[in-house]
Amino acid sequence: MFDLLQYSFIVRGLEAGVIVALIAPLIGIFLVLRRYALIADTLAHVSLAGVAIGLMLNIHPLVTALGASAVSAVVIEYLRVTKKLYGETALSLFLSGSLAVAVVLIGLAHGFNTDLFSYLFGSIVTVKQHDIYLMVGIALSAGAVLAIFFKEFFAISFDEEAAHVSGIPVRFLNTILVLLAAVVIAIAIPIVGILLISALLIIPVITALQFKKSFLITILLAELFSVVSVIAGIIVSFYLNLSSGGVIVLLLLAFFIIALALRKKKENVPYASLF
């Protein structure tokens, strides 16, 4: 069974996968509860533009992805707060705009190469040892910031107005939250790829929500689903020679459907009213 651990790329993939699996739902839960889950997809597309810039300029693509994603996160949050754009149009604007940048840059670099394809759908084979150090550093920093402002993020996600009245610096912390989302999305690229990242932030959280537990238990459940899906996904994809990102997301979806069915059975309500 553990013969796969003889392959160093699988070990690195599992290490990177667990790091991302642990940090993604911690950010994801606040995005989901604030009904801001779509920003994960937008920032992922911005990361693609960042990757394209990195490949063009011969800079480490994770670094450029991180930069592009973080800068866009702050600008999107500014547009949202100042209501300069209507509703979620800022998200659509950045999603399509950054994809356009990526496509043009890729064209200039004479089309798709395997490198870029692995950024789109994730490929643990591409994870290098120095990537792991970068990912651990970023994940630990993001985790530390989350721990410091945890109670404030919780209060804001429940009721932004009441949080504001109680003296919590809501605007500052909202910017911190989207920045955290930006960096976590950037480091998750090698595991599930740009097109599937939002699944890792969102699906474990909505699965855990079906169990209707306290905030802390919900977070622990989301972490469990996330880590199990990523480890099982990497192992299964290795043996069946499938895309690791795709298998991970399918496992996450399977957990979600089971959780939904369990809740339906317990509450005995029609599926339509579960959402």
Partner 1 sequence: MHVDHTKNIIEVNSVSFAYASVSVLSDITFAIHAGDYLGIIGPNGSGKTSLLKVMLGLVRAQKGSVTLFGKPIEKYKEWHRIGYVPQKATSFDPLFPATVREIVAMGRYGKRGLFHWLTARDNEVIDRALQEVEMTAFADRLIGDLSGGQQQRVFIARALAGEPDIIFLDEPTVGVDMRTQEEFYALLRRLNQEKGITLVLVSHDIHVISREVTELACINERLVYYGEPRAFIEGDYLNALYGCVNCAHPHKDQNHV
What is the smallest separation between the CB atom of 156 and partner 1, expressed in angstroms?
Answer: 10
Euclidean distance between CA atoms 162 and 221, whole angstroms: 27
Euclidean distance between CA atoms 195 and 125, whole angstroms: 17
> Any contact of residue 166 with partner 1 (CB under 8 A)?
yes
Indicate which single residue of 3, 6, 161, 241 sits in contact with partner 1 (rule: CB under 8 A).
Answer: 161
Scan residues 209-228 and list those touching partner 1 (CB under 8 A).
209, 212-218
> Any contact of residue 127 with partner 1 (CB under 8 A)?
no
**Whether the Cβ atoms of residue 247 and residue 233 lie closer than 8 Å to each other:** yes
Report the 10 Å Cβ neighbour count for 165.
10
Euclidean distance between CA atoms 270 and 172, whole angstroms: 41
What is the smallest separation between the CB atom of 85 and partner 1, expressed in angstroms?
Answer: 17
One-letter amino acid for residue 130 of the chain = H
Q: CA-based Rg of the chain, rounded to a whole angstrom?
A: 19
Measured from the CB atom, the residue of 126 and 175 that comes closer to partner 1 is: 175
Indicate which single residue of 41, 131, 152, 223 sits in contact with partner 1 (rule: CB under 8 A).
Answer: 152
> Any contact of residue 149 with partner 1 (CB under 8 A)?
yes
Euclidean distance between CA atoms 175 and 78, whole angstroms: 8
Measured from the CB atom, the residue of 33 and 46 that comes closer to partner 1 is: 33
Size of residue set near partner 1 by CB under 8 A: 27
Scan residues 171-210 and list those touching partner 1 (CB under 8 A).
208-209
